[in-house]
Structure 1
Amino acid sequence: MSSVTSEHVAMEATRFQHTPYYCEENVYLLCKTLCENGVADATGSDLFVVFISNEKKQVPLWHQKASRRADGIVLWDYHVICVQRKKESDSEPLVWDLDSTLPFPSPLTSYVAETIQPSFQLYAEYQRFFRVVHAPLFFKHFASDRRHMKEPDGSWTAQPPPYEPIVAQGKM
């Protein structure tokens, strides 16, 4: 696997649509772009969408751009990333996380060690749950009406993306 310089990494990450705090939509568009530009299989068969959450909706992740701390820790209500595992390759799976300050993409083992930090002892309520969805299923069924991003008074908790909400393929 070739190494990538930080300058190249930063430039590459900026080529993808990214709206802060809309990680599931960012990952949907990221996966679509990876398929369209030939980085991933055209159907997304080598891509997996990983939802990270827990019952308390307080998920600690390190090395996040949204952090104001030196260690980059953020308590997300949930986070969504893309993991790529090439079938015909012996290379390590890659994590594509547009919200991370780590190299883009990052080898899975490095990402887990740095972002998830499994060796860090967490209180039980902060334990993370992972839901893995194969990208072709995600493409077919994902939709976002953005209700979870509104306050009770109807104002946005974070400015929404400039495009219309994503509609499931079966609902178009």
Structure 2
Amino acid sequence: MSTSESVQNSLDISDFDHTPYYCEENVYFLCKKLCTSGVADAGGSDLFVVFISNENKQIPLWHQKASKRADGIVLWDYHVVCIQKRREGDTPHLVWDLDSSLPFPSPLTSYVSETIRPSFQLFSEYQRFFRIVHAPIFLRCFASDRRHMKDSVGNWTVEPPVYEPIVAEDGAVHNLNEYNEIRAPDNTINANLSNEVFTQRLGVVIDVGQLEEFFSQIP
């Protein structure tokens, strides 16, 4: 067992901060904790923040704790998880989803089949797309003043986290909308796309059929 695996096994989901309905902030701090605890590379080079959404802001995901149904399905407007690319031989890539009832973390292949269920026939308005952002870039550039959680008169629709809002290194106070506005990609996976994820502030967008292939191709 590698050092990162032994540390991973000592981490419990309760060790991570979690505020319901603030998945983007939860993942921001999850990435930081994975880096500082030794589960991930100290600089986060093996971590990727993944925004899941579509133009209609309606994406079904299964095995979600917020669901009141036996199958755990929730129709989110968007969701955010962390995917860790593993480089050790046959070790599976991992999905860290604080809102999932599946094992934490889950192998990417089982998470895709159980939570995303690409074989399930969906109407076009429910198709899921994935914005993949390299964690080191996300941790520098992401900002949210939580304005999306206020109603028209400024009241909270959901209570915010107790800590201060996240401000980007460049001083930006809110750019969440740039990350969760996701349209169908007009590209296919290629070497350029696999390399762009390491340089683009907003990462790259792929569809559900490309997700596992993408992580097998990035260096």
The alignment's TM-score, normalised by the length of structure 1, stands at 0.92
The question of whether the paired residues in 1 share the 8 Å contact of 2:35 and 2:42 is answered with yes
Counterpart for residue 128 of structure 2: 128
Counterpart for residue 145 of structure 1: 145
What SS class does the counterpart of residue 63 from structure 2 fall into? Answer: coil
Counterpart for residue 5 of structure 1: none
| TM-align CA RMSD | 1.8
> More helix by proportion, 1 or 2?
2
Measured after TM superposition, the shift of residue 86 of structure 1 is 2.5
Distance 2:25 2:72 in 1: 22
Distance 2:170 2:135 in 1: 15
Larger relative CO (CA 8 A, sep 6+): 1 or 2?
1
CA distance change for structure 1 residues 89 and 47 in 2, over 3 Å: closer, same or farther?
Answer: farther
Counterpart for residue 155 of structure 1: 155
Q: For each residue in 1:70-125, what CA deviation from the matched residue of structure 2 results, as whole angstroms up to 9, or x when unmatched? A: 11000110000000012344311000000000000000000000000001000000
Distance 1:171 1:42 in 2: 24
Number of residue equivalences? 166
Counterpart for residue 53 of structure 1: 53
Q: Percent of counterpart pairs with the same letter?
A: 72
Q: Which aligned pairs between 1:22-101 and structure 2 lie closer than 5 A?
A: 22-101=22-101
Distance 1:132 1:53 in 2: 12
Counterpart for residue 167 of structure 1: 167
Distance 1:42 1:96 in 2: 17
- Match for 1:168: what amino acid? A
The alignment's TM-score, normalised by the length of structure 2, stands at 0.72
Q: Which structure 1 segments of 5+ residues have no match?
A: 3-7
What SS class does the counterpart of residue 34 from structure 2 fall into? Answer: helix
